Chain A
Amino acid sequence: MPEIREGIEPYLEAFARLREEPSDGNGWLARRREEAMARFAARGFPTTREEAWRYTSLQALVRSRFELRPAPRPEALTPALFEQLTFEPWDCTHLVFLNGRFAPGLSRIAKLPPGVRLTSLARAIRDDRDFVEEHLGRAADGSERSLTDLNLAFTTDGMFLHVPRGTVLQDPIHALFVSMSDGAAAMSHPHNLIVVEEGSQATVVESYAGIGPAAYLTNAVTEVVAHSNAVVDHYRLEREQTSAFHLSLVEARLDRSAVFSSQAIALGGRLVRQDVRVVLDGEGAECTLNGLSVLDGDQHVDNHTFIDHARPHGTSRELYKGVLDGRSRGVFDGTIVVRPEAQKSDARQVNRNLLLSEEALADSKPTLQIEADDVKCSHAATIGQLEEDALFYLQSRGLGEETARSLLVNAFVSDIVGRIRIEPVRAGLECLLFTRLPRHHGATRVGA
C-alpha cells in the first residue's frame, strides 16, 4: 500500500460515497472515474516543488476539508443577487448550477437553431451517451495536471453544448456556477463540454460566484473542441467570494482554420489558479487569450497559459494584465511552444502588471520554446506602478488625486474590458470595476 498523499483522504472518502450512487447504466463513466481517482491518488495535489506551481502553494487548500454538498435551496439565490449574476437585463440563455448541480428551475434556455444540443452534462451523459463518451476527458485528459483527474473523478454535471455543422449561434450562452457552503464546506467539480463542428460559431460565458462567507472549492474543467473553420468565443468571469478556492482549466483543441478566443477575468477568490491550454492542431488555426486580474487584500491569482503551435501558419495573440492592491499576489506564467512542423507560426505574448500598493506582488514568467525556424514570436512583460508623470499631468489639469489615480487604473484595464463584445457583460464588468477600483485608491495614497 503506497503512502497516502497529503490531504487526499477526504477526497477518497467523498469518492467512495459517490461510488454508491446509481450510475444509470453508464459503466464507462464509472470506470473512467475510478481510473481518474486512482491517478489523482497516485499523484496527489501539486506542490511548489513542481515548476508549474512554484509561485502557488495549495497548502491552505490541502489542509481544508471539502465535501460534495447538495445544492442550496434556490431561495438562497435572492432575486437581487440573481439579477446581478445574470447581468440583467441580459436576455439570453442562462444555465444555472448550484454547488455544481444543474438547477433547471433557475435556468432559461432561449430558442436555439435546429440541431444545437444545449443541456446539462448530467442529462447529456444519460441521453447522448456515445457522444459524451467519445469527447469527455479527451481534450483535457489529466496527463498534465492532477487537478484535472480530480475533476474527472467527480465529474457529474456541467454545461454541455454541441453545435452541428454550419450553424451560427447568434446569442451567447451563459453558464452560471454558484457555490454555497451550508454547514460543511462545499466542493464542486463542474465539467463543461463544448463541441463546435465545422464552420459553426458559438459564444459561451462562464461565470463563477458564491454566496455567504464560508470557504468552498470550485475545481472546474472546460473542454472546447473547435472543428475546422469553427469560431468559438469563450469568456470566463471569476468573481468568487474572497474565502473561496478556485481552480480551473480551459483546454481547447483547434482544427484547421478554427478561431478561438478566451477572455479570463479574475476578480474574486482567495486562492485562484486558472489554466488555459490551447492546441493549434490544424493549419492556420488562430487563438487570442486575454486575461485581467483585479486583486486586493490577501488574494492570490495564478494564471497559467500554454499555447501549442502544432501545425503551420498558426497565430496566437495573448494579453494578460494584473492590477494588484493590498497584499495581493498575481502570477502570470505563459508558455508558447512552436513544434518543428509549425512553420510560419506567429505568436505574440504580453503581460503587464500594475502595482497599487507597496505590499502587492507580481510574478511574470513568459517562456517561448521554439522548435521551428521560420516563425515570428515575441513576448514582453512589465511590472510597474502608476507613473508619477502621468499623475502629475492629470492633477495639473485640475483633476483630484483620487480621480487621477482611478482614471489611470481604468485606462490600464480599458483595452481588456473593451475587447468584451457582449454589451451586458462588458457593462456589468465596468460596473464591478467601478465599485472596486476607486475604493482601492483611498487606501493607497502615495507619500502623504
Chain B
Amino acid sequence: MLEIRNLRARAGGKEILNGIDLTVRAGEVHAIMGPNGSGKSTLAHVLAGRESVEVTGGEVLYEGKNLLDLGPEMRAREGIFLAFQYPVEIPGVSNMYLLKAALNAIRKHRGQPELDAIEFLAMVKERMKLVEIDQGLLNRAVNEGFSGGEKKRNEIFQMAVLDPRLAILDETDSGLDIDALRVVAGGVNALRGPGRAMIVITHYQRLLNHIVPDRVHVLAQGRIVTTGGRELALRLEEKGYAGIGNDTHGAAAPAGVS
C-alpha cells in the first residue's frame, strides 16, 4: 500500500529525514518509535502533504501512485488520514460542518453520492459510539476549548467517519490518561481491518500494549535504525532509546543506510 524509498526532507532549514525506507502492506499496523527530534512528526506531515516540509530526495508510492505529486486534500480524498499530534482549533467552524464537508469531498472523489443531512447524522451517531465522544462537542467549533483528551478522541472520531485506507496516528497517546488511552485505542482497534493500514507514531511503549503492532520501527536522527516485532518495543521500554540505538547501529549499517 505504501512504499517509502530513501525519503529525505528538510524543515525550518534543517535536515530532518535522512533517508527513510519503509513498506507498509494493507492490513498491517506499523509502530514508529523514537526519541524527541528523531523526525517522527516530520515523517507524518510529509505523508499528509504539509507544504512547509520540503522533500529533498527519495520517493513515496501510495497504491502505486506517486504520493508526493498530490496536494494534501487529494491525499485525503485518496484515503490518507493524519491524526494530528496537536489538533488545530478553528473557531467559527463547527465540527459537524467540517466533517460533512470533508466526507462529501471524499465521497465525491470516490464517485459516491454525497450524503444528505439525515444520512450523515445517522452515520455520525453510529461512529460516535466507537470513541464515546459527546454529541455536545460535535456541535461546537472544531477543537475550540476541547481538553487534550477530547481533541485526540475527536481525531479518532474523524478517522472513523472518513474511513481512510491509510491512517497515520501522530502521538495520539501523548497526554492521555489511561481511561482516555483505552477509549482511543479501542476506537483504533475497531477500525483495524484487512483493507486498512495504520502507522502509529508514539514516544511511549505504553500505547502498544493496547494497539498491538505487526512491526515496530525505531527512528533516530531521521533514519530507521532498527525494525522488529512487538518485542522490540518491550526492549525499548527496558533499555531506552540509547541502548537500542547503540545496539543496532552496527547491525543496520550493512543494510546500506549510508
Contacts and interface: CB of A to CB of B under 8 A. Distances in A.
Nearest to A389: B88
A394 interface: yes
B82 interface: yes
Interface string A378-418: 00000000011110111111111101100110111011000
Given A401-B71, A415-B92, A396 B87 contact: no
Given A408-B93, A415-B92, A395 B52 contact: no
Interface stretch (B30-38, B101-109, B248-256): B101-109
A397 B92 contact: no
A240 B76 CA distance: 42
Interface of A: 387-390, 392-401, 403-404, 407-408, 410-412, 414-415, 447
B220 interface: no
Nearest to A418: B92
Contacts of B52: 388
Nearest to A403: B101
Contact of B98 (A387, A397, A400): A397
Contacts, number: 74
Given A388-B52, A392-B50, A447-B51, A399 B102 contact: yes
Q: How large is the interface on B (under 10, 10 to 19, 20 to 34, 35 or more residues)?
A: 20 to 34
Interface in B13-60: 48-52
Contacts of B49: 395-396
A157 B224 CA distance: 79
12 contacts: A390-B90, A393-B142, A396-B73, A396-B84, A397-B158, A398-B109, A399-B98, A403-B101, A403-B105, A408-B90, A411-B93, A411-B141
Contacts of B82: 396
A139 B12 CA distance: 57
A92 to B, nearest CB: 29
A389 to B, nearest CB: 5
A445 B106 CA distance: 23
A398 B51 contact: no
Contacts of A412: 92
A294 to B, nearest CB: 15
B200 interface: no
B152 interface: no
Contacts of A397: 76, 98-99, 102, 158, 162
Given A395-B72, A396-B81, A396-B84, 12 more contacts: A388-B52, A390-B88, A393-B142, A394-B90, A396-B48, A396-B76, A397-B98, A397-B162, A407-B98, A408-B90, A408-B93, A411-B141
